[in-house]
A and B are shown apart, each in its own frame.
Chain A
């Protein structure tokens, strides 16, 4: 989605009508997701607000290749919630000290979200068959069932296929310049 698009410019300008629409259409979905996962509506509001800030920083720096802003916003919220859910102590206060740490926290997530984008992009570059078998593997489906569902002759054959697909995916990720930039230490 090019940053020159008027919609993006409105977002970067903090256009009240646009923010209102996002709160009306996307926020209810985020709230449902967070509540479904054991969070509160207030936590969903924090997630939504922080996701908008992360998107703001992303959009002012790079052209995001996304099909739907609303869907991408939901995905960012979902990932941010998943991250929050793994953290034991959530930062909720509003004093200056926590604001600084909150920014670092958002910066960390910004890097992770960029990695997530890269990983998704590379997965889509694999063959349809590889995407299907890996989808089952990442769902932790047993190899026996993968073998049966996808019609492989044996579990060993299915494992070999997974190995080849994962190796290809690993190479695609490693060969991308963004991976080196975003790599963990």
Chain B
């Protein structure tokens, strides 16, 4: 079956539950008699699931394929590995000291006093740092990898960053950026995030500003990292200002996360 834009729209409406009951029935009848259409709908459904954060679409794999893969999980070495994990987890739990009931009450009493004292102290510092840890995800930055070229200097920059070697990331990214005629947003993000990790706030802010003012399609990614920078700096006002910008634009990077963070900061 050759896709066309009309069919594309029809599938979109079917998967988006935007068809009338009659239209849906007709479409399903058509699908039942056309394996090619079924396949096309299936691929679109998987695209919707795999390329978004929405509901995960569970597959219905071929029975033999499922049996073959299930067997891999039933092999002795897999069971042994699972057992090792279980034992490791239990050992980690046991490392947490157990306390007697009387000691528990003593500690609970002390904790109550600490809580009261904590309530009297300004809480901003703890809250904003916790939120930073909660919202900062290095894996969101994206990849610089060029397929098939393991010697690519950009790949080395990414590797340095993932290995938390931030000085090396900056040392390698800056000269490359200087030679580019157009801004490379992902590379700038690696530079800015390395600066952020090392608490070089002014430099990081300048880098994220470069992204925001770059005439690129991904310019809005700069806003998210700028908001995280202000969060880490505990500059609540500026952080919220930036989050407001992202919240007003549904297409901006991390729009939903920005709204959630904004709400957390307001709470």
Q: A residues within 8 A CB of B158?
A: 67
**Nearest-CB residue, chain B, relative to A167:** B3
Q: Please give the number of chain A residues whose Cβ is less than 8 angstroms from any Cβ of chain B in the complex.
A: 71
Are B51 and A134 in contact, with the CB atoms below 8 A? yes
Q: Would you give the shortest CB distance from A83 to chain B, in whole angstroms?
A: 4
Can you spell out 29 A-B residue pairs with CB atoms less than 8 angstroms apart?
A: A52-B85, A56-B81, A67-B145, A82-B53, A83-B56, A103-B70, A103-B74, A104-B70, A108-B61, A108-B66, A108-B69, A112-B56, A112-B59, A115-B50, A116-B50, A119-B47, A123-B51, A125-B147, A132-B217, A140-B52, A145-B251, A149-B217, A149-B251, A159-B9, A170-B40, A170-B44, A174-B39, A183-B62, A184-B59
A14 within 8 A of B: yes
Interface residues of B (CB under 8 A from A): 3-5, 8-9, 39-40, 42-44, 46-48, 50-53, 55-56, 58-63, 65-66, 69-70, 72-74, 77-78, 80-82, 84-86, 88-89, 92, 133-134, 137-139, 143, 145, 147, 155, 158-159, 162, 217-218, 250-251, 255, 260
Are A185 and B62 in contact, with the CB atoms below 8 A? yes
Are A138 and B47 in contact, with the CB atoms below 8 A? yes
Q: Would you give the shortest CB distance from B260 to chain A, in whole angstroms?
A: 8
Are B65 and A19 in contact, with the CB atoms below 8 A? no
Are A120 and B70 in contact, with the CB atoms below 8 A? no
Q: Which of B4, B82, B92 contacts A23 (CB 8 A)?
A: B92
Are B251 and A86 in contact, with the CB atoms below 8 A? no
Are B78 and A56 in contact, with the CB atoms below 8 A? yes
Give the interface SS of chain B, mostly helix, strand, loop or mixed: helix
Pair count A-B, CB < 8 A: 162
Are A57 and B5 in contact, with the CB atoms below 8 A? no
**Nearest-CB residue, chain B, relative to A52:** B85
Q: B residues within 8 A CB of A60?
A: 72, 77-78
Are B250 and A141 in contact, with the CB atoms below 8 A? yes
Q: Would you give the shortest CB distance from B56 to chain A, in whole angstroms?
A: 4
With A67-B155, A83-B56, A108-B66: A160-B5 Cβ-Cβ less than 8 Å: yes
Are A14 and B66 in contact, with the CB atoms below 8 A? no
Q: A residues within 8 A CB of B59?
A: 108, 111-112, 115, 184
Q: B residues within 8 A CB of A184?
A: 42, 59-62
